[in-house]
């Protein structure tokens, strides 16, 4: 993210120059939801950045008990940027959470965990910088309807691009017939690609708040798109994801649309992922590059891949943390669940991009999605990769064939593991395998995180009948 201020003095000068009236302090909970509290600029001083902003930690899922609810937000002045959507000039500031009872940064604050992880990386001596380049795909719909009752369950999303609208009579328009069709949305021009202008507006707004973009295009599914954002260091890249999702959803909202980062809103069409590009650097040198290595990757990079794939089943509890995540990770939809690596091969969980050099050498992990808390997703990937470097883990591969064509027996014969098929499987893997996370995640955090996911995602979903179950079981 582009920096508008470098310190507290510059913050107040920036506010004065832009006639700021309100300061919006924002922080992220365990799930990844962005929360905010807004103060009048006249009630904020330099001391505020030291003393912090008080709030109720018991009102957030999985955080504090009510008898120990007082917590403090510690603003990060360098993260400040102007909110492009408020009627009155408002500046947004990222915050970390401080625990007044233990007198330390809060062990359940994802941004604080991310900062702790970067310090751990530096202290390890392996590298001093980790770069992350997430690709957050999303859908733009015209409407969404949701019913979740004791006797009835229903959802319905709609987009003019949907082939189900081929015979629709439009009240204020007409049926053009130009649609991408199922799995037909990759790179068609207008009028099949109907979201060019709204994507351009999204990009211009992202640039205005300091997010560097480089590409936008229609994706494979109906109503699905992507905007490419420049990579950054761990904390900043996760901050960027929070800003990105905020801008995307607000621009859609202001245009009478609705944007979602839900992995699999359409049955039978491609889902949305958050492919993550990564590299490690030390003293300005890319540790992932070796001209003589496989696809110009170093042994360090191969071991890093090995660590991620070895721990992937528990990593997925953070990178794919919703029940809907596992409806996307199925063969045939460019969402690999097979834990191997390959050059250019999008059916492998880890892809090595084509044409990498000493400054661009990186790996791409393809199974994460945007229901992930970006701080925790990047932390878990980095810690798993470092575990691989320390233990010189060798991944299965490279596999340069179309892995989606393999049968389950063939996958087993090749000794390739797969991601779990459900969130329950990932959480149970996290319970069994979390040692690699212990340097930066406390036992309390890991325990409360998995409990929260069971209570909000696993058990409620497992308890609800679905329309398909009525279709297959009603006449039993």
- 270 labelled ligand-binding: yes
Return all residues near 415 (Cβ < 8 A) that are at least 6 apart.
396
Q: Among the residues of 324-415, which ranges form H helices?
A: 325-328, 374-390, 408-413
- 219 labelled ligand-binding: yes
**Are 300 and 403 contained in the same domain?**
yes
**Are 141 and 95 contained in the same domain?**
no
- 278 labelled ligand-binding: yes
- The pLDDT of residue 357 is above 80: yes
Kindly state the helix (H) or strand (E) to which residue 158 belongs, with its residue range.
strand 153-158
Number of domain units in the chain = 2
**Are 22 and 146 contained in the same domain?**
no
Q: Are 298 and 289 in contact (CB under 8 A)?
A: yes
Q: Cα separation of 112 and 205, whole Å?
A: 28
Mean pLDDT on 424-447: 98
Q: Cα separation of 239 and 378, whole Å?
A: 11
**Would you place residue 468 in the very low, low, confident or very high pLDDT band (cuts 50, 70, 90)?**
very high
- 275 labelled ligand-binding: yes
Kindly state the helix (H) or strand (E) to which residue 156 belongs, with its residue range.
strand 153-158
Q: How high does pLDDT run on average in the chain?
A: 94
Residue 122 lies in a domain: no
Q: Cα separation of 451 and 436, whole Å?
A: 20
**Are 161 and 210 contained in the same domain?**
yes
**Are 193 and 273 contained in the same domain?**
yes
Residue 111 lies in a domain: no
The size of the chain, in residues, is: 476
**Are 168 and 87 contained in the same domain?**
no
Q: Cα separation of 95 and 52, whole Å?
A: 9
Q: Cα separation of 65 and 114, whole Å?
A: 24
23 φ, ψ to 5°? -115, 120
237: domain CATH number is 3.30.590.10
Return all residues near 187 (Cβ < 8 A) that are at least 6 apart.
193, 217, 218
**Are 171 and 54 contained in the same domain?**
no
Residue 180 lies in a domain: yes
**Would you place residue 2 in the very low, low, confident or very high pLDDT band (cuts 50, 70, 90)?**
low
Mean pLDDT on 252-274: 96
Q: Cα separation of 435 and 119, whole Å?
A: 18
Q: Cα separation of 327 and 97, whole Å?
A: 34
94: domain CATH number is 3.10.20.70
Residue 349, judged by CB atoms within 10 A of its CB (0-12, 13-18, 19+), counts as buried
Residue 117 lies in a domain: no
**Are 94 and 136 contained in the same domain?**
no
Residue 375 lies in a domain: yes
Q: What totals of helices (H) and strands (E) does the chain contain, helices first?
A: 13, 19
Residue 118 lies in a domain: no
- 202 labelled ligand-binding: no
Q: Cα separation of 98 and 93, whole Å?
A: 16
18: containing domain: 8-106
Q: Among the residues of 299-373, which ranges form H helices?
A: 299-319, 325-328
**Are 177 and 259 contained in the same domain?**
yes
The reported pLDDT for the residue numbered 426 is: 98
- 168 labelled ligand-binding: no
Catalytic residues, by residue number, are 56, 135, 137, 219, 226, 275, 346, 364, 366
Q: Are 393 and 302 in contact (CB under 8 A)?
A: no
**Are 64 and 200 contained in the same domain?**
no
pLDDT in tens, 18-74: 999 999 999 999 999 999 999 999 999 999 999 999 999 999 989 988 999 999 999
For a pLDDT cut of 90, what percent of the chain falls above it?
84
- The pLDDT of residue 159 is above 70: yes
- The pLDDT of residue 216 is above 80: yes
The reported pLDDT for the residue numbered 149 is: 95
The reported pLDDT for the residue numbered 240 is: 97
Whose CA is closest to 304, among 338, 279, 286, 283?
279
Q: Cα separation of 1 and 42, whole Å?
A: 27
| Residue 400, SS3 per DSSP | coil
pLDDT in tens, 169-186: 888 888 888 999 988 889
Residue 116 lies in a domain: no
Q: Cα separation of 296 and 354, whole Å?
A: 10
- 103 labelled ligand-binding: no
pLDDT in tens, 219-237: 999 999 999 999 999 999 9
CA distances from 202 to 143, 194, 225, 264 (A): 19, 14, 12, 22
**Are 100 and 175 contained in the same domain?**
no
Residue 54 lies in a domain: yes
**Are 226 and 343 contained in the same domain?**
yes
């Amino acid at each position: 993210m582009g920096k508008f201020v470098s310190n507290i003095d510059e913050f107040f000068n920036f506010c004065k120059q832009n006639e700021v009236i309100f300061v919006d302090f924002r922080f992220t909970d365990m799930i990844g939801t962005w929360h905010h509290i807004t103060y009048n600029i006249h009630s904020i001083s330099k001391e505020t950045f030291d003393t912090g902003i008080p709030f109720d930690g018991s009102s957030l899922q999985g955080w504090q008990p009510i008898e120990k609810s007082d917590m403090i937000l510690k603003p990060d002045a360098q993260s400040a940027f102007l909110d492009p959507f408020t009627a009155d000039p408002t500046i947004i500031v990222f915050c970390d959470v401080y625990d007044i009872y233990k007198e330390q940064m809060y062990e359940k604050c994802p941004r604080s965990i991310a900062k702790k992880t970067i310090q751990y990386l530096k202290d390890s001596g392996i590298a001093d910088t980790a770069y992350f380049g997430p690709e957050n795909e999303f859908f733009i719909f015209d409407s969404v309807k949701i019913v979740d009752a004791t006797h009835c369950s229903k959802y319905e999303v709609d987009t003019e691009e949907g082939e189900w609208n081929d015979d629709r009579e439009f009240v204020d328009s007409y049926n053009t017939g130009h649609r991408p069709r199922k799995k037909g949305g990759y790179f068609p021009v207008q009028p099949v690609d109907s979201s060019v202008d709204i994507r351009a507006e999204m990009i211009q707004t992202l640039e205005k708040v300091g997010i560097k973009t480089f590409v936008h295009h229609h994706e494979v599914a109906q109503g699905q798109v992507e905007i490419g954002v420049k990579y950054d260091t761990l904390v900043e890249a996760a901050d960027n994801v929070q800003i990105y999702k905020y801008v995307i959803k607000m621009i859609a909202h202001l245009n009478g649309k609705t944007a979602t980062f839900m992995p699999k809103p359409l049955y039978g069409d491609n889902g949305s992922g958050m492919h993550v590009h990564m590299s490690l650097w030390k003293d300005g040198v890319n540790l992932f590059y070796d001209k003589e290595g496989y696809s110009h990757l170093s042994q360090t990079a191969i071991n890093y891949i090995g660590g991620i794939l070895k721990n992937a089943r528990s990593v997925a509890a953070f990178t794919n943390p919703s029940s809907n995540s596992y409806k996307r990770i199925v063969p045939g939809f460019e969402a690999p669940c097979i834990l191997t690596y390959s050059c250019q091969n999008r059916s492998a969980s880890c892809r090595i991009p084509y044409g990498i050099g000493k400054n661009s050498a990186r790996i791409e992990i393809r199974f994460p999605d945007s229901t992930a808390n970006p701080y925790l997703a990047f932390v878990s990937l980095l810690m798993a990769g470092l575990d691989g470097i320390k233990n010189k883990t060798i991944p299965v591969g490279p596999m340069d064939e179309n892995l989606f064509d393999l049968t389950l027996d063939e996958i087993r014969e090749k000794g390739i593991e797969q991601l779990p098929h459900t969130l329950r499987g990932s959480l149970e893997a996290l319970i069994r395998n979390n040692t690699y996370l212990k340097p930066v995640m406390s036992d309390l955090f890991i325990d409360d995180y998995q409990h929260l996911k069971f209570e909000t995602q696993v058990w409620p979903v497992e308890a609800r009948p679905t329309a398909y179950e009525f279709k297959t079981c009603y006449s039993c």
